[in-house]
Structure formats: structure tokens, C-alpha cells
């Protein structure tokens, strides 16, 4: 099992590396804005997902829990690319799972950028 | 002038007398966490209605609750490290203390005198006087100079608390009655309990403490009835060497998943519930379910076990029959099911659906919907009957 785990991790890391130049290009193209923007409905879903589902480990306010804090101050040392790769492929050896079956690479990049600038709050809760 | 003053006082007394409500018990009350807006709803399980709300409780993501033994006070542990003592009849916050930076839950002692909080930041356990919330003892979970996040805190008989250290892979037992001074309780440390314990449970008889391990296939077990308790590893290698599936939410063990002589436990990284014989602590069966199990909870009589799941399979709840060890029902109570709580004798179960913004009440015999309560982003559901149960 451990071997498989490591193998998956290695493949994950390799994929992340292969993504790197592409993501960098996207970032350059997006100076001052994003190359990719989810639809308003999807955006709402992503914001809720990060706040609520990621929040079950990282906290609703993203101030940390079992997972580390995801506030801009806490993420100072992180690039958007590395964050996006972590979202997609997880962190082997920790409880952080790979989310690539639930978000696309573009969406992971979008989430990473929002985290670095201070993640948006959810819209008013509908009763 | 004096007569007028007397009249005012008498009138006020009469009016206040009329306004006071008749004496009420709390046995059919409970609270539901509204995780997104720092509020708990007080509910009545007989009338199946919301009787009121208590706001101003801070960050309630992953909030949990224990009850005083008279069932009057709910101790609410907030993610932001605040501990609040809420009167469920008056629906007022009696005391609120900022006890840590990041907290994950708590427990109340067997005799009801102490409330303990388990913390991530700073890692450790703080023990408070249940009446005043004054700090009694501080137990930092520091191993080799490094603080550890604490999980799986539970009360055990003999005035003790037991908990697991996620980072250090240890289990600690704190005895509030061993010494003359509760400020310096006796701490027994069990090193090498296993890699990354993620939660723990105490069996209904208070005999066994079981910690689930995230970092390895297996569980850590302590028999607290032993003269010199020790940790042993059980169910090692239940993953059978297969690569684990992603775990999108950490399973929870808190509460009982014990029905008769069998324990029903979530497999980590597998869409299965493990059935374990608590006489031998060996696996007797495994039951395929709809996703990564999060809560696996036995109905109080032990005839059924209800299971909910991690994202993306969290719109469903499955019911396992404990006689035939099979899933006998799959329910869809609403998007993002986070928690389930049985009424004290188990005729009904309350299920929170975070994204459907409702709590649904099901009849556990025929699975009919008995009621639906609209609440914003509900998570934990806690009934006052927990006050009388070990490990709650």
C-alpha cells in the first residue's frame, strides 16, 4: 500500500511539474485578471465548496484546523501554481486528498488565486 | 406617595409572576448547530419544532456540544476556541470563555464537575469547572518539545479523560481524582499508539478506548479495565494492501457505533464499514457502502446502524441491519448530510443537510419523514439525552 501511495504521489508530483509551464503562461496572460473565470453558478458552488467542504479541515474562516490555515498571510510563501497543484494532487503523507475528480485544473488555479488574495465570503445564506 | 410606590412594586411582582413559564424539563430538548452564522437552534424532539435560537457563538464550523448532567446547559465548543455555556430553557449564554485559538470539541466528566476542551492551537486539553468555566487544569500535549493537535477526547469512568495526539501518535489518559490537586492531574502517556490517530471512541461500558488511525491501516485499542492498561494494534492491514481512495472528509468515531457485541467502524480510504467483534477485536465482516463513511452510528437499541458519507457522496444516508449485516435502506434527506442524532430511545432520527438548509426527522422503523425543519447550514445535532451517556 505504501509503495502504491508513493507511486501515486510521484505521478502526482510529475503531473504537477508538467503543468507548471502551462500554468505560468496562463498566469502571465492573466496579469491583473484571470484567464479563466467560472460561470456565476459554478463560482458560487466553488466558493461554498471551499468554505464548507475544505472548511471541515481548514475551518470555515480558513483559519486552520486539522489542515493548515489558508489565509493570505499563512500562504505568503506559496505560489498560485503550487497551491493549485496541491489542490489537484493532494499532499501524500497528510490528510490532504487529491481533489482532481471534483475540480478542474482551471478551477484549482482560480481557487488558488482567490485564496492568495483573501477568499470571498459566501453570498447571503438562503433560508 | 409611599402607597403609590407600594402599588407599583406589588403590580410588578404580580405581573412577573404571571409572566414566568410553568416548570419545564429538558429531556426532549436538543441543539442544532447553524455552522455558518454562529448560532444554535434549540429544538424539541417531541413537538419536532424549533423553540428558539441562541446567537453570538462565533465560528461554529466543526462545533460540538456536551450537556450538563441535569440537561439544562449545553457547552458549545467553537472552532475559534471559544467555549460557551448555554441555558437551553432560557436560551441565554450564561458564560463564554475564549479558551484557545483553535478548538475541535470537548467532553464532560462522569460526575459532571469538569468540562474538557481539546485544542489544535495551542495543542492540548484544558479542563474547566463545569459550573463557572474557571480553568482547573491545563494539559499541553507537548512531545519532544513539539505541541500536538488533540483529537478523540472522551470521558471515561473514574473521573478520567482520554484523548489522542494526532501529530505525536500517542494516547494520553488524564486522571482528575488520582492526586490531591485537580490542577495537577495524573497523566498516563501511551507512546507509539499509531500513526496519525484522527478520532477516538469509548465503548458504552467505558471499558475500551479505540483510536482510528489515518496514517496506517488499523486501530489503536486500550482496555481500561486492565490493571496496567496498554495500547495494542487491532485490525492491522484491513486495507489489504490496496491503494486507499481519497478521503475528502475525515471519518468521526465519537459517539457509539457499538451494537450488541459488534463495533461498526468506518474504513479509512475505503467505501466500507468494518464489523468488529468487541470480545476479540478481530474483523468479522465488512459491508460495502455508498461512499467514504463519516459517521457510523448505532440506533440506541443496536438493531440498526446509520451511515453518512464524505463529499461527493454526502447526499445519501444508508441504514445497515445489524442482524443480517446488510444495507437495507438508502435515504436521500437533502444535499450535504453532515450529522445524525437519534431520539433517546431511537424511534426517530434527526438528520442535518447542510446545503438543503434543513433538518429532516425520520421514523427509524418505516423510514417515513416525520418532519422537516428549515435551518441555515445545519451541522451537528445534539440531544440532552447525551448527558447520561459515557463517551458523549
Residue A59 contacts B where some CB pair is shorter than 8 Å: yes
Say if the Cβ atoms of A95 and B198 lie within 8 Å: yes
Taking chain A (127 residues) in runs of 10, the rounded mean pLDDT of each run is 45 40 41 75 95 92 93 97 98 95 97 96 58
Q: At what angle do helices A105-117 and A80-89 cross, to 10 degrees?
A: 130
> How far is C-alpha B166 from the geometric centre of its chain's CA atoms?
18
Say if the Cβ atoms of B217 and A1 lie within 8 Å: yes
> DSSP of B250-272, one letter per residue?
-----S--EETTEEEEEPTTSSE
- Locate B215 and state its grid cell: 496514517
Q: How many CB atoms lie within 10 A of CB B64?
A: 26
Closest CA to B27 of B46, B52, B11: B46
Q: What number of residues does chain A have? A: 127
Residue A121 contacts B where some CB pair is shorter than 8 Å: no
Q: What number of residues does chain B have? A: 392
Gap from B35 CA to chain A (nearest CA, Å): 8
The answer to whether B349 touches B341, Cβ cutoff 8 Å, is yes
Q: What predicted TM-score, i.e. pTM, was given to this entire model?
A: 0.88
Please tell me which residue of chain B has the smallest CA distance to A1: B241
Gap from A5 CA to chain B (nearest CA, Å): 6
Element (H, E) at B378: strand B378-383
Contacts with A49 from chain B: Cβ below 8 Å: 311
Return the CA Rg of chain A: 15
pLDDT at residue A8, as a whole number? 45
Gap from B226 CA to chain A (nearest CA, Å): 32
pLDDT digits (tens, 9 = 90+) for B339-361: 999 999 999 999 999 999 999 99
> How far is C-alpha B238 from the geometric centre of its chain's CA atoms?
26
- List, as ranges, residues 117-176 from B with C-beta within 8 Å of A: 120-121, 149, 151, 166
pLDDT at residue B139, as a whole number? 97
Gap from A26 CA to chain B (nearest CA, Å): 28
Residues of chain B with pLDDT under 70: 1-20
The answer to whether B164 touches B211, Cβ cutoff 8 Å, is yes
Say if the Cβ atoms of A102 and B249 lie within 8 Å: no
CATH architecture of A2-117: Orthogonal Bundle (1.10)
pLDDT at residue B62, as a whole number? 87
pLDDT at residue B240, as a whole number? 76
pLDDT at residue B284, as a whole number? 95
Q: Alpha-carbon distance B292 to B362, whole Å?
A: 22
pLDDT at residue B118, as a whole number? 96
Q: Alpha-carbon distance B306 to B331, whole Å?
A: 10
pLDDT at residue B61, as a whole number? 87
φ and ψ at residue A41, rounded to 5 degrees: -65, -45
The yes/no answer to whether this complex scores an ipTM above 0.90 is no
Amino acid at each position: 500500500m505504501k509503495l502504491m501511495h508513493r507511486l501515486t504521489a510521484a505521478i502526482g508530483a510529475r503531473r504537477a511539474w508538467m503543468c507548471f509551464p502551462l500554468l505560468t503562461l496562463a498566469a502571465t496572460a492573466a496579469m491583473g485578471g484571470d484567464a479563466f473565470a467560472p460561470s456565476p453558478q459554478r463560482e458560487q458552488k466553488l466558493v461554498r465548496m471551499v468554505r464548507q467542504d475544505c472548511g471541515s479541515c481548514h475551518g470555515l474562516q480558513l483559519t486552520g484546523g486539522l489542515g493548515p490555515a489558508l489565509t493570505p498571510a499563512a500562504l505568503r510563501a506559496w505560489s498560485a501554481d503550487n497551491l493549485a497543484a496541491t489542490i489537484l494532487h493532494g499532499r501524500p503523507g497528510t490528510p490532504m486528498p487529491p481533489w482532481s475528480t471534483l475540480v478542474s485544473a482551471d478551477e484549482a488555479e482560480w481557487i488558488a488565486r482567490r485564496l492568495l488574495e483573501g477568499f470571498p465570503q459566501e453570498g447571503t445564506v438562503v433560508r | 406617595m409611599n402607597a403609590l410606590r407600594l402599588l407599583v412594586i406589588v403590580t410588578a411582582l404580580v405581573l412577573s409572576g404571571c409572566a414566568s413559564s410553568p416548570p419545564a424539563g429538558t429531556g426532549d430538548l436538543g441543539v442544532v448547530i447553524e455552522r455558518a452564522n454562529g448560532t444554535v437552534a434549540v429544538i424539541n424532539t417531541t413537538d419536532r419544532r424549533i423553540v428558539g435560537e441562541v446567537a453570538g457563538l462565533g465560528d461554529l464550523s466543526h462545533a460540538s456540544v456536551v450537556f450538563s448532567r441535569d440537561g439544562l446547559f449545553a457547552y458549545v465548543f467553537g472552532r475559534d476556541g471559544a467555549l460557551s455555556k448555554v441555558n437551553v430553557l432560557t436560551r441565554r449564554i450564561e458564560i463564554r470563555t475564549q479558551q484557545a485559538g483553535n478548538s475541535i470539541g470537548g467532553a464532560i466528566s462522569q460526575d459532571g464537575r469538569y468540562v474538557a476542551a481539546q485544542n489544535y492551537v495551542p495543542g492540548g486539553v484544558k479542563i474547566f469547572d463545569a459550573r463557572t468555566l474557571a480553568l482547573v487544569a491545563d494539559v499541553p500535549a507537548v512531545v519532544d518539545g513539539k505541541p500536538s493537535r488533540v483529537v478523540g477526547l472522551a470521558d471515561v469512568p473514574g473521573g478520567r479523560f482520554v484523548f489522542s495526539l494526532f501529530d505525536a501518535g500517542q494516547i494520553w489518559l488524564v486522571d482528575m481524582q488520582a492526586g490531591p490537586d485537580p490542577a495537577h492531574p495524573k497523566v498516563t502517556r501511551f507512546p507509539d499508539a499509531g500513526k496519525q490517530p484522527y478520532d477516538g471512541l469509548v465503548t458504552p461500558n467505558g471499558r475500551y478506548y479505540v483510536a482510528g488511525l489515518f496514517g496506517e491501516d488499523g486501530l489503536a485499542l486500550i482496555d481500561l479495565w486492565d490493571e496496567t492498561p496498554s495500547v495494542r494494534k487491532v485490525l492491522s492491514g484491513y486495507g489489504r494492501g490496496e491503494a486507499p481512495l481519497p478521503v475528502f472528509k475525515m471519518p468521526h468515531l465519537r459517539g457509539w457505533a457499538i451494537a450488541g457485541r459488534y463495533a461498526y467502524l468506518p474504513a479509512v480510504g475505503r467505501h466500507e464499514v468494518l464489523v468488529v467483534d468487541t470480545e476479540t477485536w478481530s474483523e468479522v465482516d465488512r459491508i460495502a457502502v455508498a461512499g467514504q463513511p463519516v459517521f457510523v452510528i448505532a440506533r440506541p437499541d443496536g438493531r440498526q446502524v446509520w451511515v453518512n458519507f464524505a463529499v461527493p457522496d454526502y447526499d445519501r444516508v444508508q441504514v445497515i441491519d445489524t442482524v443480517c449485516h446488510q444495507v437495507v435502506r438508502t435515504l436521500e434527506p437533502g444535499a450535504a448530510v453532515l450529522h445524525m442524532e437519534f431520539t433517546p430511545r431511537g424511534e426517530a432520527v434527526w438528520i442535518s443537510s447542510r446545503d438543503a438548509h434543513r433538518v429532516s426527522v425520520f421514523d427509524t422503523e418505516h423510514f417515513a419523514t416525520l418532519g422537516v425543519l428549515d435551518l441555515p447550514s445545519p451541522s451537528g445535532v445534539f440531544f440532552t439525552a447525551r448527558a447520561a451517556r459515557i463517551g458523549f
